[in-house]
Every structure is written in C-alpha cells, then in structure tokens.
Chains A and B, each alone.
Chain A
Amino acid sequence: MPTLAITAIGIDRPGIVAAVTRVLLDHGCNLEDTAMSILRGQFAMVLVVDAPAGTDAAALEAALGSETAELDLTASVRELHASAATATAEGSRWTVVVYGPDHPGIVHLVAARLAAANVNILDVTTRVTEGSATAGSLYSMVMEVLLPPGLEPDAVEAALTSGPEAEGLTCRLHPADADVL
C-alpha cells in the first residue's frame, strides 16, 4: 500500500477541502496526517495518505487537477518511502516564540541555531503584520520544538538572541510537555 504526500494550494474559498478529499476518497485513499491553513489568502494543504496498491502518483495528480479544475489549485502527488523515521526522539517539548522587526533571514537564523544545538523543530507557524505608519512590519514565529536531554531552555534563549544578526529579536521558551492524567 503506497504512502503518498499530497500538496494543494489555491486562492481561498469555501469548498476546497471538500473537493480535494472527494477526489481522494473516490480513488480509495485514506487520509493519515494533514495540515491545512490559509497563507496570504491561499488555502494550503499538505496531506499524507495511504493509497490502494497500484495507485499511480502522476495519474492521481492529474485527476486532482482535472476534477477540481474550477478551483484552479496547484496540486502535487509524490510517493513517500516509509522506512526512514523509526528513531525515538527523546527530550522535552517547548514552545518557542520569536518576534521582531521584519527582515529576510529571521527563520533561517533561528532554525540554523536550533539545528546547531540539535533541537528538533516539530511545528512552525510564521506571520508578518502589515505594519503602521510609525512602525514597520512585525515578524512573528511560534514553534514547537524538542530539546535534547541536558539542554537548558535559558541556553537556547541566549543562543537565539546573541550576536548582531539577532539584533531586535525577542525569543521566549515556554514548557509544552503534557501531563498524562
């Protein structure tokens, strides 16, 4: 049973999720994990689905395009190879909030420093505001991360804000581990 990665994006309007999932259901696909959100007025979907044996990714991509033509979506279907991620990640969960004046390179700066500290990013959302007459745009990013054992959140905060490249950036870490009740 092939596992497929499907993306679809198009100008937001009611009916996109219904139309895309109709096509997938008609082709016998079972939705596993999905993420969908509006990004700058575009509705963006990323889906991992289980498809029936013999499903052809290119044919499904073509069907998605033709059967949702009125929505003018940009869609892609790729087969995933499922052997990779079997390691168990250890560590503690934290929410990282970063904000500052908008300029190119903020996400890369933060992500590169997290990677250097062996911090695994689990979830990211970024938004930029329009700005006002007196202040420019504000860039904000909220992430969920996994800190490896022994790495203190204070050290991560310090690493994220050190040096002239991080000038103006504010970074905060909040615990995000769950209690099992």
Chain B
Amino acid sequence: MPVRPVLQLPEPVLQRPTTPVDAIDDGVRALLDDLVDTMLASPACVGLAANQIGDGRRACVVDVTGHRKARSCHGLIVLVNPVIVATAGDELAREGCMSVPDLTGDVARATSVVVRGTDREGAEVEIEADAFEARALLHEVDHLDGMVFLDRVESHAAVFRRKVYR
C-alpha cells in the first residue's frame, strides 16, 4: 500500500474521464488503499481521485476531518463509481489542487450535494454533504470526469499564483 506520486497537469490522464469500475475486487481495493495512503501523506490534502495517481478507474477518497471550513463531516469517505445526484446552493471560494501546483482559482460550487456510489465492499452508499465537504466531493468527482478547477474558473481575474516567491 504505497504512497504514490501525485501527477500534475499537463499529464493527459488528468483530462481524461475515468472508466466506471465493473466489479470490486482486490485490485480495486488496493487502488483505494493507495489513494488513502497518498492523501494522508500530504497534510493539507482533503481528497484524491484515482487519475491523480495515474489510474483510470472511477474511484476517489475524501476526508475533511478537522478542516476549519467543514460543517458536515463523514470522516474518511471512500467512493467507487461516485455520481453527483443532487446539488443545491452556490458559493465562490478559492481552490488549489495538488495536480495544478502554484495556481489557485476562484470557483463557484454548490453548497450542498448528494453523492451516490459504492464502498470498498461494493455496497451502495449515499453521502449527503454540505459546505467544505461538498466542495471537496465536487472537486474530486470533477477529476474523475477529466476536469480540474481551471475548467471551472469563470472570472478573468481569478487565477493567482499560489506561491509569491520561489
């Protein structure tokens, strides 16, 4: 269960929609373990999608535990074949991404969300989340659809360098 390198744009796999998982087997569970380990290895990381570590299967993990902007918090969320089934609200906030280093952007996202998928045993799960946890889920599902936050930036003045000096 190794920590895997997080790929960065312009790596093409980040812009390709991932493929739904047919059946959950040990290979898929190993991928989920790698996602969790890689997420936990980065202190600021609150979520990771499979294509960020170069795997084209539709799976992601999210954990916003302890984040100051979190309201709902389901702890560690592991999702295979996640689909957004409902959203509500709209809020602008600045996002960064491990796969888009140095840049940040202001992105409008729903403030509450319902996501459906399966867990690591293949049982169907439905997660209702709001605030920061909703944003994190939407960000990861975007990855699985081949999108990064830059695809969502609508204001011309909204992309900044994350670091001021090098």
Q: What residues of chain B lie closer than 8 Å to A87, measured between beta carbons?
A: 165
Query: Is B57 in contact with chain A by the CB < 8 A criterion?
Result: no
| Closest B residue to A84 using CB positions | B165
For this complex, into which size category does the number of interface residues on chain A fall? Answer: 10 to 19
Query: Is A122 in contact with chain B by the CB < 8 A criterion?
Result: yes
Are A181 and B163 CB-contacts (below 8 A) given A125-B157, A176-B94?
A: no
Contact B44 A120 (CB under 8 A): no
Query: Is B136 in contact with chain A by the CB < 8 A criterion?
Result: yes
Q: What residues of chain B lie closer than 8 Å to A89, measured between beta carbons?
A: 164-165
Contact B157 A181 (CB under 8 A): no
Assembly CA distance A85 to B140 (angstroms): 35
| Closest A residue to B103 using CB positions | A178
Assembly CA distance A88 to B165 (angstroms): 5
Assembly CA distance A180 to B97 (angstroms): 5
Are A181 and B139 CB-contacts (below 8 A) given A123-B160, A144-B160?
A: yes
Are A179 and B45 CB-contacts (below 8 A) given A86-B165, A88-B163, A123-B160?
A: no
Q: How far is the CB of B151 from chain A (nearest CB, A)?
A: 14
Contact A178 B140 (CB under 8 A): no
Contact A146 B104 (CB under 8 A): no
Are A181 and B164 CB-contacts (below 8 A) given A125-B157, A176-B94?
A: no
Query: Is B98 in contact with chain A by the CB < 8 A criterion?
Result: yes
Q: What residues of chain A lie closer than 8 Å to B161, measured between beta carbons?
A: 33
Query: Is A67 in contact with chain B by the CB < 8 A criterion?
Result: no
Assembly CA distance A177 to B165 (angstroms): 16
Q: What residues of chain B lie closer than 8 Å to A125, measured between beta carbons?
A: 157
Contact B162 A178 (CB under 8 A): yes
Q: How far is the CB of A123 from chain B (nearest CB, A)?
A: 7
Contact A122 B164 (CB under 8 A): yes
Contact A180 B96 (CB under 8 A): yes
Assembly CA distance A70 to B29 (angstroms): 64
Q: What residues of chain A lie closer than 8 Å to B149, measured between beta carbons?
A: 181
Neighbour of B94 across the interface among A120, A123, A146, A178, CB < 8 A:
A178
Q: What residues of chain B lie closer than 8 Å to A123, measured between beta carbons?
A: 160
Q: What residues of chain B lie closer than 8 Å to A180, measured between beta carbons?
A: 44-46, 95-98
Contact A181 B46 (CB under 8 A): yes
Are A181 and B165 CB-contacts (below 8 A) given A123-B160, A125-B157, A144-B160?
A: no
| Closest B residue to A179 using CB positions | B95
B99-129 vs A: 1/0 string, CB under 8 Å?
0000010000000000000000000000000
14 pairs from A and B in contact (CB 8 Å cutoff): A85-B165, A86-B166, A88-B164, A89-B164, A125-B157, A144-B160, A177-B94, A178-B95, A179-B46, A179-B67, A179-B93, A179-B95, A180-B46, A181-B97
Known: A144-B160, A178-B96, A181-B139. 18 other contacts (CB 8 A): A86-B166, A88-B164, A89-B164, A123-B160, A146-B164, A177-B94, A178-B95, A179-B46, A179-B96, A179-B135, A180-B45, A180-B46, A180-B95, A180-B97, A181-B47, A181-B135, A181-B140, A181-B149
